[in-house]
Amino acid sequence: MARSESLGARCVRAFGLVGGIVVLWLHGSNIGGPPKRTMRRLAASPEVRARRDAAEREMRAAIGRVGAVDGLEHVLTRFTESFTRYTRIVNFGSPSVHGVTCDLRAVAWFGVRGEVADVLDELRRQGLADWLPTPEGRRGTPPPAPEFGAPGLRIDWDRPGAPLPPPEPERAPRRGIGTARLSHRRWSVPRRPPRPADSRARYGTLLVLSLGGLGHPGAGHFSVEHRKG
C-alpha cells in the first residue's frame, strides 16, 4: 500500500493532480501492450489478410463497374494501405485492449468522353451512385456542397474553370496517443500511370472515384483485437 501511495505522491508532485491521475491510469492499464513484432504478426495473420484481400477485391470490382459505364475510360488507380496498432482503455485500472487497424483506400481516375451529366445519369440509372443528402451546415455559414456517391465511395469531377487537383500520395498516418504505425505502402495501377494533366488534355474532363477514407471508410477499414494465448 505504501508503495502505491509513494507512486501516487510522486505523480502528483511531478505532473499535478490531473496529470498524476492520467499517469496512474496509464500505469494501471498497461498501455504499452504487446511488442510491435507481435502486432505485426497479427497484421499478417490469415484472418486479417483475408479481410484485407476481400476489401481490395471489392474495391477493384467497384472500380470496374464504374469504368464500364458508357462515357468513362479508366486512367489510373492509386491504392494506399496502412496498418496501425491501437490501445483502448476500457476502465480505470483494468487491462487495456490492444489490436491492429487496417485502412485500405483507393482513388481511381477516369477520362470522360462526352458530357459529365450523361455519365452521372447513367451511374444513377445503374444504381452505382446518386446525389447524397446534404448535411446541415453550421449556423451563419453557407450549406455544404452536395455530394455524389454511395456508401463507402464518393465521386467528383472537373468543373468548368476548376479542375480537380492532381492526386497526391497518401501520407503515412501520424503517430497518436495509444497508436503506432506498423506499415504503410502505396501502389498504382498501371504501375507507370499517365500524368493527370496529360489525361485531361486527352479527354477534356476527368472524374474521380474515391473508395475509403474519412467519412466513408467502407470495408477497407477494420480492426482486429489481439487475443492472448
Give 200-225 pLDDT, tens digit per residue: 999 999 999 999 987 777 889 999 99
Q: Give the DSSP H or E segment for 141.
A: none
pLDDT for the residue 21: 47
The yes-or-no verdict on residue 178 having pLDDT over 80 is no
Mean pLDDT of 22-31: 44
The pTM (predicted TM-score) of the whole model is 0.79
Q: Are 132 and 146 in contact (CB under 8 A)?
A: yes
Cα–Cα distance measured from residue 83 to residue 74, given in angstroms and rounded to the nearest whole number: 28
Give 60-117 pLDDT, tens digit per residue: 999 999 999 999 999 999 999 999 999 887 776 667 889 999 999 999 999 999 999 9
Residue 82 main-chain phi, psi, to 5 deg: -135, 140
- What spatial distance separates the first Cα and last Cα of the chain, rounded to whole Å? 31
Cα–Cα distance measured from residue 229 to residue 227, given in angstroms and rounded to the nearest whole number: 7
The yes-or-no verdict on residue 185 having pLDDT over 60 is yes
Mean pLDDT of 133-139: 73
Average model confidence (pLDDT) across the chain: 83
pLDDT for the residue 89: 79
Using 50, 70 and 90 to split pLDDT, how confident is the model at 2? Answer: very low
Cα–Cα distance measured from residue 74 to residue 63, given in angstroms and rounded to the nearest whole number: 9
Q: Are 55 and 103 in contact (CB under 8 A)?
A: no
Q: Are 13 and 6 in contact (CB under 8 A)?
A: no
**Residue found under cell 472537373:** 158
All three cell numbers of 195, joined, read 500524368
Min mean pLDDT across 43-57, 84-98, 101-115, 177-191 is at 84-98
pLDDT for the residue 133: 87
All three cell numbers of 82, joined, read 496502412
pLDDT for the residue 177: 55
Pairing status of strand 130-131 against strand 97-112: unpaired
Min mean pLDDT across 5-14, 40-49, 95-104, 209-218 is at 5-14
Nearest to 56 by CA among 218, 177, 228, 223: 218
All three cell numbers of 225, joined, read 483485437
Q: Higher confidence at residue 111 or residue 229?
A: 111
Q: DSSP alpha helices (H): ranges in 69-126?
A: 116-125
pLDDT for the residue 144: 75
The yes-or-no verdict on residue 138 having pLDDT over 80 is no
